[in-house]
Amino acid sequence: MKKIVVIPGDGIGKEVVPATLHILQGFDLPFEYVYAEAGDECFEKYGTPLPEETLELCKESDAILFGAVGETAADVIVKLRQELDLFANVRPAKSMRGVKCLYDNVDLVVVRENTECLYKGYEFDVGDSAVAMRVITRKGCERIVRFAFEFAKREGRKRVTALHKANVLKKTCGLFKRVFYDIAKEYNFEVNDYYIDAGCLYMVTKPWIFDVIVTTNLFGDIVSDLTAGLVGGLGLAPSANIGERYSLFEPVHGSAPDIAGKGIANPTATILSACMMLRHLGFSEVAEKIERAVEKVIAEGKTTPDLGGNLKTMEFAEEVLKACREI
């Protein structure tokens, strides 16, 4: 029995997570779902956005399914990444029939280092200036680069691209670039690299040249949202946070307080995040069936209002579950 810690969080997290669980519970999966609290509402109730009880439950889990968090995101998601050493953030971006987007042939994955860089939180006041410390270690570079190549190998990808700014950040990005090419020698892939600014330009003008992208934390945070914009927005963008022992899966949209409680939130990103969880836990066939069902339902125009349809959150989930039975 796999123990899945479920953290709905704030706002629409309380709507998209139940919709996703409705689909998962339509399959005979050996999962035990354990609920935990985190986020803004949790802070108001307990004085902390991430209670120790929640952290301990996460440490006892086989996987964590997370919904959304509001203003306390840095104190919840970033802390979970640090505490659980979730060093790899995986963000797929794939064009989907029925979704209006810039290109219909995007199929790439951003692999982002998740625990270092400027997000270490080392910031200081120095006189009337503010200083942030960027931390890039050889160990951090080696494990995220190796993770990217192993991911590419497992998923049948052909090319791995590094994004950096080694022409300016000669020490930190220089280390990342050197480690990338050192590890690349161990694998049989096409490899190349771009400066981050040029890479962003190419993502917008010719995204089909990318397959697997690996980069450092801050750059990865930015370009993964950019690639989501290429394929329809954050409502369709799943993510996985992977470590040596723990794993957390979450949609990358926020808590959307403007529509929270209306039952119209698009649960696609959460559903697809759950599919990433299923694959990680060894249930690839179920994941593929759900993904195909999501694509079928959206292609048929059965969507939530953000994609031009009129379905409620749970109605969309029910359509996906129905399509699963037909596939």
The set of catalytic residues is 119, 165, 197, 221, 225
Local structure of 201: helix, strand or coil: helix
- Type of residue found at 35: Y
Distance CA 114, CA 90 (A): 9
Q: H or E stretch including 53? A: helix 52-59
Query: Which H, E and C letters describe 129-179, residue by residue?
Result: EEEECCECCHHHHHHHHHHHHHHHHHCCCCEEEEEECCCCCCCHHHHHHHH
Dihedral angle of Cα 183, 185, 191, 192, to the nearest 10 degrees: 70
Distance CA 253, CA 131 (A): 29
Alpha carbon 296 to its chain centroid, in Å, reads 22
Cβ(120)–Cβ(87) under 8 Å?
no
Residues 6+ away with beta carbon under 8 Å from 194: 161, 162, 163, 202
The token pair at 325 is 């039975």
Query: Residue written as tokens 């951003």?
Result: 110
DSSP 8-state symbol, 197: H
- Type of residue found at 213: I
What's the maximum distance between 2 C-alpha atoms anywhere in the chain?
A: 66
- Type of residue found at 288: E
